[in-house]
Amino acid sequence: MDSITHIALGACIGEAFFERGFGKKAMLWGALAQSIPDIDFVASFWMNTADDLLAHRGFTHSLLFAILIVPVMAMAAEKIHRPHNISFKKWCLFFAAEVLMHLFLDGFNNYGVGWFIPFSDIRFSFNTLYVADPFFSIWPGIAFVVLLMLHRFHSLRPIMWKIGIFIPFTYLLYCTYNKLSINKEVKQIFAKQQIPHEKYFTTPTPLNNWLWYVVAGNDSGYYVGFRSVFDQKKEINFTFFPKNDTLLHTVADHKDVHQLKRFSQGFYTVEQWNDTLVFNDLRFGQILGWRYPDQKFVFHYFLEHPNDNTLIVQRGRFKGWDSNEVMYLLKRIRGF
């Protein structure tokens, strides 16, 4: 989930916890607590790109970090706001709700969250919600702005925090339904079109939850296609991308190669672009792939030119987007 949404949602949860008894200070603490797991961004100042990919949403997004940071924040808030009538237990419940909500929501995106680090390197990603979904984020955003403008005893405050919390989570349930429906359909399509695969995933395309990106395959390569919840035909136009693992032989001992394989959870291909090898992590989709099936993948890492990899996860995500492409995306979403 994007940082702005975490801030707005955290503020709404703060208002819900304390309401009129603590004023807008609760919103400030909520925004801070929702943001604290993303402190891992500072790692990018000294880590190389491959290491930073695994550091992000790593330890600071783990349950162990939550256990450690919650009492620290509770003690800080309890001391700063003396005298008050808020119990230490309530402070802990409040900060636990905020931090755990951050960890929970990030698990619905495709990046992967290390909930059990350092005890396990397994990363969890439900691939249910695009990292910046305006239909989820708009409600806490509106509520946050209105709550900032209203005085602490205004009668609309309880209504606004409910809008900021309950509507986006109702939408999340709807997205989960879409996810389950799409998964059921693509399994039937795999069988009908005889798509060989050992594993697969589906994840939403940018800024919506109706057009889904589908990847299925095995060690030989992956079939990539798109499926809208409004599609009528039980078929997907797949494009096959060979994995080309043999191209990695010359760089097999490089640390970044091992890190990238681990980060991609096995969903990757390798290509030769002129004088360099390129590692594609398929989980992040293609640039306008729903219109141009052979387009480049958003995540591509130059193995032999590591200094050119300062921006990786969303490299060229919106390259080529204009009014015509937006209209085509809307048309594709509708099932055409």
On the question of pLDDT at 327 being above 90, the answer is yes
pLDDT band at 193 (very low <50, low <70, confident <90, very high): very high
147 and 233 share one domain: no
Quick check: is 238 in a domain?
Answer: yes
pLDDT digits (tens, 9 = 90+) for 8-32: 999 999 999 997 768 789 999 999 9
Residues near 17 by beta carbon (within 8 Å), at least 6 away in sequence:
26, 30, 90, 93, 94, 97
Given 174, 204, 223, which residue is the final one in a domain?
Answer: 174
Quick check: is 183 in a domain?
Answer: no
Phi/psi of residue 212, each to 5°?
A: -115, 140
Structural domain count of the chain: 2
295 and 211 share one domain: yes
pLDDT band at 312 (very low <50, low <70, confident <90, very high): low
Quick check: is 312 in a domain?
Answer: yes
Q: CA torsion sign, 299 to 303 to 304 to 305?
A: positive
Quick check: is 190 in a domain?
Answer: no
96 and 205 share one domain: no
Quick check: is 185 in a domain?
Answer: no
Q: Alpha helices of 221-322 — where are they, by DSSP H?
A: 255-264
104 and 75 share one domain: yes
216 and 167 share one domain: no
159 and 230 share one domain: no
pLDDT at position 21: 66
Quick check: is 297 in a domain?
Answer: yes
CA atoms of 20 and 254, how far apart (whole Å)? 57
CA atoms of 26 and 29, how far apart (whole Å)? 5
Residue range 194-201: mean pLDDT, rounded: 97
140 and 7 share one domain: yes
Residue range 260-274: mean pLDDT, rounded: 94
166 and 261 share one domain: no
274 and 316 share one domain: yes
Instruction: Single out the residue of 162, 126, 160 nearest to residue 1, CA to CA.
Output: 126
Lowest mean pLDDT among 50-59, 92-101, 156-165: 50-59
pLDDT band at 310 (very low <50, low <70, confident <90, very high): low
pLDDT at position 311: 61
Quick check: is 296 in a domain?
Answer: yes
Percent of the chain surpassing pLDDT 70 = 97
Q: Which domain holds residue 166?
A: 3-174
Quick check: is 275 in a domain?
Answer: yes
* Selection from 193-207, 243-257, 293-307, 308-322 with the highest mean pLDDT: 193-207
Given 174, 204, 238, which residue is the final one in a domain?
Answer: 174
Angle at 285 between CA 281 and CA 286, to 5 degrees: 105
On the question of pLDDT at 59 being above 80, the answer is yes
156 and 229 share one domain: no
pLDDT band at 223 (very low <50, low <70, confident <90, very high): very high
DSSP 26: H
pLDDT at position 48: 84
269 and 166 share one domain: no
Tokens of 222: 């992956």
150 and 249 share one domain: no
pLDDT digits (tens, 9 = 90+) for 67-101: 999 999 999 999 999 888 889 999 999 999 999 99
Given 145, 174, 203, which residue is the final one in a domain?
Answer: 174
